[in-house]
Structure 1
Amino acid sequence: MALPKRRHSHSRTRTRRAHDALTAPGVSKCAECGEPKLPHRLCPGCGSYKGRSVIKLDEE
């Protein structure tokens, strides 16, 4: 198995790791209730998607 002849410099290592940062998920508001939700997903507050009610959630 081949081994590296020289160690990688700090600059080269950090340049490679420049794209490893995490990004926060994009959160949008529900058009029906205004609760924050992830795009292209069912609203956890009112159960609607694209303006129509998909599931009925229990009212407490």
Structure 2
Amino acid sequence: MPNPKHRHSKQRKNKRRTHYKATAPALTTCSNCGAVKMPHRVCPECGYYRGKLAVEKKTASA
């Protein structure tokens, strides 16, 4: 197995890593309630996905 002959400097390491950036998540609005949600996922506020009820919201029971 080949091994590195020389140590890479911090500058070289950091220059290589400049393209490894975290991107902001794409957000959309729910067509049912207008809440902000991630695309292609069930709305966490109302439980609807593509106009249909996908998950029933749990209610606080005493």
Equivalent residue for 1:47?
47
Q: Distance in 1 between matches of 2:37 and 2:51?
A: 14
| 1:5-40 CA-partner distances (Å, limit 9, x unpaired) | 222244532332122211121111001110011111
- Taking structure 2 as the reference length, the TM-score comes to 0.69
Q: Distance in 1 between matches of 2:20 and 2:7?
A: 21
Residue 5 of structure 1 pairs with residue 5 of structure 2: yes
Q: How much is the aligned-residue C-alpha RMSD, in angstroms?
A: 2.1
Q: Distance in 2 between matches of 1:3 and 1:43?
A: 50
Q: Distance in 2 between matches of 1:48 and 1:2?
A: 54
Name the SS for the 1:46 alignment partner: coil
Aligned length: 60
Q: Distance in 1 between matches of 2:52 and 2:2?
A: 60
Percentage identity across aligned positions? 43
